[in-house]
Amino acid sequence: MKILDVLNKNAILADLKSTDKKGVIEELASPLAQIAGMDQENLVTVLLERERLGSTGIGGGIGIPHGKFKELNTLLLGFGLSRKGVDFESMDNRPTHIFFMLITPENSTGLHLKLLSRISRLLKNDLFKEKLQQAANADEIFGVIQDNDEDF
């Protein structure tokens, strides 16, 4: 599965304005809720509940907030870039700049884990992260991901 199989270009936010974790989650959730026809407040609530279990800020400037939803029938992925960085309670206590938000159907554990693994693997590439951070807009971000999204 490729990232671009589930990343909707309308869910790419090239310049997040939020300065805290809750704000980033709300901002990223907005286009995904619209695309999925879901209630945004419900989406944010589920994502924040997941964060209470442990931060999805994995360190290295990366956050991958995610959650599962009964009413969803397909995986959806959003992307956000914070130019200034946000305190996302990351494992390394450093600001988070790159966000992938994943929402999945409740019964899709296998696909959910495959996509999380794929995103994590790609984000271990420092050049990829650097190119994402230098991208000026959603089209450039989409292009950077497309250039690095080969199946393996």
Taking CA atoms, 64 is separated from 61, 96, 135, in Å, by 10, 10, 19
Q: Give this prediction's pTM.
A: 0.94
Work out the angle between the directed axes of helices 126-134 and 138-148 (0-180°, nearest 10).
160
Where the chain has pLDDT below 70, the residues are 151-152
pLDDT single digits (tens) 77-96: 999 999 999 999 999 999 99
pLDDT at position 150 is 74
pLDDT single digits (tens) 112-129: 888 888 898 899 999 999
User: Cα separation of 33 and 78, whole Å?
Assistant: 10
User: Cα separation of 137 and 51, whole Å?
Assistant: 28
Which sequence positions are flagged as catalytic? 66
Domains of the chain: 3-146 (3.40.930.10)
pLDDT at position 152 is 46
User: Cα separation of 33 and 54, whole Å?
Assistant: 23
